[in-house]
Amino acid sequence: MQANQVIMILQDLNDLEVAIEIPHRVMLSGVRNTRAIAELSAIPNQQFDLKLRTYSTQPSSDSQTYSVVLGFEDLKGFRVMPGMSAKVIPVADKPADENTLITLPLTALVPDNQGKQFVWVVNAQNQAEKRYVDIGTTYKDRVVITQHLKPGEQVIIAGVSSVREGMTVRPYTDNNGAQ
């Protein structure tokens, strides 16, 4: 035997994982509480539930993708082995909730004179409300909002320097009525 020579590899066959790489646009759409199913070519006509275990917040330098690790929830008595190839299919989870990843364009953030960041949220009366937010990872021109904003809330993303608290605003709609 020599120094640094592998003499044994231990594997837990009851706690298997699938590692995948996903592009940034998928990463920004949200990965928390992500669920998926795996189909194994070695076991036809069976699907296995997967649950998110970990994900990287830095892209790979060569492929610009993010590593995501999903764990098998129930092997249903089948003998699944490390190294088997799996097809991973995302599953639509429950509707957006407090665990949904929210991203905004950097242009929506307004810094105050104390180093905090806020955004302008449009309330039901179409008035601007200042809302301080906590931010997470930035990627290109978008930032993850980690606290104090709910999915579906309308945020002003352009002209934020001229907005004032309580100002009545008109949400932008294109010619087709989309906001």
For 24, the 3-state DSSP assignment is: helix
Q: What is the CATH architecture of 17-91?
A: Beta Barrel (2.40)
Q: What is the CATH code for 102-162?
A: 2.40.420.20
| Parts of the chain belonging to CATH 2.40.420.20 | 102-162
Record the tokens describing residue 114, joined without a space.
């104390």
Residue 68: count other Cβ atoms within 10 Å of its Cβ.
21
Q: In what order do the strands lie in the sheet with 17-23?
A: 17-23, 65-72, 43-55, 35-40, 86-91
Task: Supply 165's token pair.
Answer: 């608290």
* Residues 28-81 pLDDT 10s: 666 555 678 899 989 988 999 998 888 888 888 888 888 888 999 999 999 999
Give start-end residues of each CATH 2.40.30.170 domain in the chain: 17-91
Read off the pLDDT of residues 91-148 as tens digits, 9 standing for 90 and up.
755 544 555 678 888 999 999 999 899 999 999 999 999 999 998 877 677 888 888 9
